[in-house]
Chain A
């Protein structure tokens, strides 16, 4: 009870700070913040999958790509308003997650990792294919119009895009939090901890895992849609295998079972390349790799795990005092 309340206040506090940033940041920083939130939502999708279900996806970039392209295609080719594309992008990526998850999740943990690895490598090829270029723009990609603030709100486009991303992203965090807290969440945890026990409890393991994976794909797909709206451009090469790996590293850094940790994961994905690129062209890969290995050995529960340990330590004296 107590913990829930502090989580709600903490979440609201972070949200308020992020909203306030909309009014004090330059448009360059607003874009970076927007992408931070976008990647945080993408990583959140992986937290739901890995942290609460014990499954590993190495191809989350593929769902990001699907979300991005659905939004881009609807906006560029069919003149849909940006906001209306988000639910469609969510549904499309959830469906893809279901289709990939269904065969892989009947089996053990590594099968999903292998299948999604293959998906991540294959997707950029599909996006480039000539036969689909009428829809996808082929190698050139698609360009869209920039969203504007509604209701004559006194906001710049960048401010509005950031706030819109923040609102949708906030809803996604709320959704994930609710999901992992409720009955389904407990069932998901049971699956992670002890699959035989979960089965004995009457939980349909494969079905639950597949649905969880669909939710995970949906969250990452929504992130993709938001990124299209923010960038107003998509091209196949932005969705290569490296994107999936980057998101995976973000997941590990943020903490695989930490919902707030996803924000750190998002920040990591957004800001590390800037720093690393200044060192050398080969550096991002090497740094990502080294960080990944280091976290696995030293801090396998990531920044989120560290935070929750600190929070628990801070709470303990209070409990003792009661």
Chain B
């Protein structure tokens, strides 16, 4: 029983990470109908930047904030330079560009920071076992922080005029412009925000999975599964989907398929969602766009 509880709690901890990346993906998908296959690699790059800052003596939380801000800039730049020219091009073009970006960032990471696996410090420590030893201090702190980030994002979209304008620009860009919203600036902001969320997720997961240029590739896959499970056009659903995938992955990994096949769980979830409920748990009817 304790074993199962343990699997669930660490599933929630990794689910928080998947939820963040799912949210980043869905934010961009909603606004542009493009999937940023490089979302994971961008987060890995951010994490390397954070580690470099920490090694240079910057305190952890300062490094965290600096990295998140820099990543926001990276997201804005990617939108400006790569996304905007292919906005209205066929799907193949945007997939090609983002796979290209994935490859370039991955190679750059390896080239600048090396391919060896690196330890990453956790800011969360505790002298006493937490919740009867059910969770590690890092798991608890990481989950808490991620939930706070997600809540902040939610509040931003729900309560601020800028958040409202970003939602409007995503739903109906033509009308948004007629309300005076600068839609292309909103898209840039969305990319910045997605990259910032990804950076926070990368820094939070690195102490657990260690840092190397391929750190996020599996996580991106779970995030896809989470986004599809929740509904690709529903940010709230994507977050819930991410948590569910985290828990399922841990339980399947521990009791059914074994840790060797954990990634296959993501594939199975994706295929199962497409077969059983293609709109996801919280999505609207899928527009069939061939």
- Tell me the A residues contacting B by CB distance below 8 Å: 50, 54, 56, 58, 100, 103-104, 106-111, 113-115, 117-119, 121-122, 125-126, 128-130, 191-192, 195, 205, 209, 241, 245, 248-249, 252, 256, 280-286, 288-293, 295-297, 300
Contact = CB atoms under 8 A, between A and B. Distances in A.
A296 B93 contact: yes
Contacts of A195: 288, 290
B11 interface: no
Contact of B92 (A56, A129, A205): A56
Nearest to A209: B290
B193 interface: no
A107 B107 contact: no
A295 to B, nearest CB: 7
B290 A54 contact: yes
A300 B102 CA distance: 18
Given A114-B270, A249-B99, 5 more contacts: A56-B91, A111-B274, A115-B267, A192-B290, A286-B111
B268 to A, nearest CB: 9
Contacts of B270: 114-115, 118
Contacts of B267: 115, 118-119, 121-122
B100 A121 contact: no
Interface of B: 33, 35, 37, 82, 85-86, 89-93, 95-97, 99-108, 110-111, 115, 217-218, 221, 224-225, 228, 258, 260-264, 266-267, 270-271, 274-275, 278, 286-290
Given A118-B266, A125-B260, A293 B221 contact: no
A122 B257 CA distance: 13
A168 B230 CA distance: 45
Contacts of B104: 285-286, 289-290, 293
11 contacts: A58-B37, A109-B91, A114-B270, A118-B267, A122-B264, A126-B261, A282-B107, A282-B110, A285-B103, A289-B106, A300-B96
A289 B271 contact: no
A125 B264 contact: yes
A280 B288 contact: no
Contacts of B261: 122, 125-126, 129
Contacts of B275: 103
A128 B96 contact: no
Contact of A191 (B110, B228, B290): B290
Contacts of A108: 286-290
Nearest to B265: A122
A128 B224 contact: no
A130 B278 contact: no
Contacts of B89: 296, 300
Contacts of A118: 221, 224-225, 266-267, 270
B100 A100 contact: no
Contact of B103 (A104, A245, A252, A295): A245
Nearest to A248: B99
A100 B272 CA distance: 11
Contacts of B264: 122, 125-126
A252 B90 CA distance: 13
B288 A114 contact: no
Contacts of A249: 99
Nearest to B93: A296
Nearest to A280: B111
A121 B33 CA distance: 23
B266 A284 contact: no
Contacts of A128: 260
B61 to A, nearest CB: 31
B260 A107 contact: no
B290 to A, nearest CB: 4
Contact of A125 (B111, B263, B288): B263
A192 B287 CA distance: 16
Contacts of A241: 217
Given A121-B217, A289-B104, A103 B274 contact: yes
B91 A292 contact: no
A292 B103 contact: yes
Given A108-B289, A289-B104, A292-B103, A117 B260 contact: no
A194 to B, nearest CB: 9
B164 to A, nearest CB: 27
A109 B289 contact: yes
B31 to A, nearest CB: 14
Given A256-B92, A282-B111, A289-B101, A205 B290 contact: yes
A157 B100 CA distance: 38
A119 B264 CA distance: 8
Given A114-B224, A114-B270, A252 B108 contact: no
A114 B290 contact: no
Nearest to A283: B107
A292 B99 contact: yes
| Residue among B90, B107, B278, B286 with most chain A CB within 10 A | B107
Contact of B96 (A129, A130, A295): A295
A296 B107 contact: no
Contact of B35 (A113, A252, A280, A284): A113
